[in-house]
Amino acid sequence: MNFWLLKSEPETFGFADLVRVGREPWNGVRNYQARNFLRQMQVGDLCLFYHSATSPAGIAGVARVVRAAYPDNLQFDPASLYHDAASPPEAPRWSMVDVAAVAALPRFLTLAELRTLPELGNLRLLQRGNRLSVMPVSQEEFQVIVAAGGLEPEFLNADSF
């Protein structure tokens, strides 16, 4: 099982929205590096749900991958902001996964607070110039973050959901 971080602007789609709908296709990723990470995701992987472009930015909850990568439908929709006319239908350029809400962090973890945790010195999110909307997180980093956010460690057990 692998661990990831997904960025979303809460004004557009926040963790509360994921809780409300339960499950959502993670579409609209149009960066090759982020896309490649999406394609590595497997059902059961856990994701930190990060709120970007808001104040304060930070981690709001945990989601789970419930469907592995498949073609992002929006790339073929001319009306979509994410339309890509150059994407070959026989070999779609962009992928998405489906994610489901697992749990909100009892304590929202702000970016500033994440920066104070010594165990997160290598967290990709905190590196200079980072702009990726999908990135890997180590198991250790994931555990530190969910614990700091007030979730019980047992919640990581596969049979707890």
Between 108 and 155, CB nearer to DNA: 108
Give the per-residue contact string, 106-145, with DNA (x = CB under 7 A; - = no). Answer: -----xx---------------xxxxxx------------
Q: Is 150 left (phi over 0), alpha (psi -120 to 50) or beta?
A: left
Give the per-residue contact string, 11-40, with DNA (x = CB under 7 A; - = no). Answer: --------------------xxx-------
Helix or strand holding residue 34 (H, E):
helix 32-40
Applying CB under 7 A, does 95 fall inside the site for DNA?
A: no
Write down the least CB distance from residue 134 to DNA, Å.
9
Instruction: Tell me whether residue 117 is exposed, middle or buried, using C-beta atoms within 10 angstroms of its C-beta: 0 to 12, 13 to 18, 19 or more.
Output: middle
Write down the least CB distance from residue 158 to DNA, Å.
29
Helix, strand or coil for residue 15? helix
